[in-house]
Amino acid sequence: MHDRLTRYLLLVPALVIVLGTTLWPLVSAVTTSFRNWRLKRSPVPQGWVGFDNYVFGFEEPEFWNALKVTFVFVTLDVLIAVAVSLGLALLLRRAGVLQSLTRAVLILPFAMSPALIGVSFRFMFNGEYGVLAKGIGWLIPPLADVIWLASPGYAMAALILSDVWHWFPYLTLIFLGGLAAVPVETEEAALIDGATPWQTVLLVVLPQIKGVIAVALILKTIFALKMFDSVQTLTGAGPGITTQTLAHYVYTIGFVHYDMGHASALAVVLTALLVGIGMFYTRLVMPPKAVAR
């Protein structure tokens, strides 16, 4: 059977692409992280410096700032996005005009580019003429005088809002897919047995889609940890560096300061963090056999 060989040959093109475009850069970044290489001073790497880039990297207050910003952003962003989309998915289960109207637009924000979303929200949160800034000020008068993107806490709120807007409709679609597989009988039985609608949802419906909720949590967390595009176009990491995520910090060291050694060390730390959290999470919420049959 020449199939014995075929099964491997078929894998070659995709494997070459994936290894060449993701694993090679990672290995290369690890190597560079042990060298002194400032592009502004030298076009080629200079010397091996051991763990200096890491030691130096951990001493920088900007690193800890970025770590903190990323942690705050990921926690709030994931919780809000997943909670909102679960709630909306539960509302959308039934048939109705409003339901189908809302379902029809769920895909749109996800198809929009994060860079463009950042630009749009920067326009809408403008202190002088931003429609969202004005609208929120009208609804909640104490916030009327807030210059959103110039105040640290509010800039973070704007960043989270823009990312939640990008993701919650898509997560809702994922949850709707999960909810469609929940047999109506289980819900009816619970209601007949005297459970309140809230109890039914929390204790009967949600447990049946916990696999889907797990996937949504993993997906959203990974993407939130990599957050860069709308940081760049919405807040520019500001004011100051109060919304600078780790990915944006690596970018700044690498492509604003052109310190390749330092940037590579940070990149390796960021990857380790992502892989660590990703693996931990995946193991925690998904049995290994579900990943690949």
Contacts to another protein from residues 107-166, by CB under 8 A: 107-117, 119-124, 128-129, 131, 134, 165
Instruction: Determine if 38 is a binding residue for another protein (CB under 8 A).
Output: no
Residue 63 is a binding residue for another protein (CB under 8 A): no
Residues in 183-202 that interact with another protein by CB under 8 A: 187, 191, 197
Q: Please report how close the Cβ of residue 154 comes to another protein at its closest, in angstroms.
A: 18
83 touches another protein by CB under 8 A: no
Cα separation, 106 vs 94, whole angstroms: 16
Contacting range for another protein; rule: CB under 8 A; set: 53-61, 72-80, 147-155, 210-218 = 210-218
**Residue that the structure tokens 């070459």 belong to:** 16
> Helices 246-255 & 260-285, crossing angle to 10 degrees?
160
Cβ 113 to another protein shortest distance, Å: 4
Nearer to another protein, 30 or 79 (CB): 30
| Total residues interacting with another protein, rule: CB under 8 A | 95
Comparing CA positions, the residue from 85, 109, 285 lying closest to residue 171 is: 85
The residue type found at 95 is A
Question: For 237, left (φ over 0), alpha (ψ -120 to 50), or beta?
Answer: left
Q: Which stretch binds another protein (CB under 8 A): 15-23, 52-60, 61-69, 144-152?
A: 15-23
Residues 231 to 290 in contact with another protein, rule: CB under 8 A: 232-233, 247, 250-251, 254-255, 260, 263-264, 267-268, 270-271, 274-275, 278-279, 286, 288, 290
- Classify residue 238 as left (phi > 0), alpha (psi -120 to 50) or beta: beta
Residue 88 lies near another protein (rule: CB under 8 A):
yes
Q: Which of 217, 192, 196, 176 is nearest to 77 (CA)?
A: 217
181 vs 35, 37, 175, CA distance in Å? 53, 55, 10
Provide the minimum distance between the beta carbon of 51 and another protein in the complex, in angstroms, as a whole number: 18
Spatial distance between the Cα atoms of 235 and 215, rounded to a whole number of angstroms: 29
Map residue 47 onto helix, strand or coil: strand
Measured from the CB of residue 182, what is the shortest distance to another protein in angstroms?
A: 13
Residue 226 makes contact with another protein by CB under 8 A: yes
Token pair, residue 171, equals: 């997560």
